[in-house]
Amino acid sequence: MTNNNKKTKKARREQDTLSGKPEHLLSRVEVFKKMCRMLEMTRRRFLEEDWRHYSRLIPQQQFIHLMMVRHSLPCNLAKIMRVTGMTSAGASIFVDKMVKMGVLERHEDVADRRNIVISFTPRAQKSTEHIDDRLNHYILNFFDGCSEEELKSLEESSRLVCRVLDSRYEEETF
């Protein structure tokens, strides 16, 4: 998608007000916003707790960016920019700092020597696997009181939200 198309779509979204729309559309938006806020608060609390464990090593904002990109690694700088919303300079500085700290490493792409691939160091990979394992336990405990039917419904809803977000993410950069 070209920059002009992105700007046109963004301008159209900003002009389209929801006032006067049917009430059921607004209630759908509100429940989705509430869900997003609650998930974000829960995710941030979890990440902040893990960050405290690693606080001597990585500044909090960089830790959050690292957690954002962990599922995209190995990747290149452009992917890190897309995932985090950082500028080219910001992403480059972030990667430089993480390389110096021994968290990330750079190497040439065997298929394209002009492309630099960024990945976790083995030590950092092990640490993020530990964080993911803790998150998995946290989520399982979080939904412990749900029936099997509720869990299936949550899973299907989650798959639908991810499918919609994935398709939007491919169309445009947030």
Q: For residue range 110-157, what is the model confidence (pLDDT) as tens digits?
A: 887 778 899 999 988 888 888 888 888 888 888 889 999 999 999 999
Is residue 65 within 8 A of residue 104, CB to CB? The reply is no
Q: What is the pTM of this model?
A: 0.67
Architecture of 20-142 per CATH?
Answer: Orthogonal Bundle (1.10)
* Alpha-carbon distance values, 49 to 44, 53, 59, 64, 132 (Å): 8, 7, 13, 12, 13
Among candidate residues 162, 171, 164, the one with its CA nearest the CA of residue 39: 162
Domain ranges of the chain: 20-142
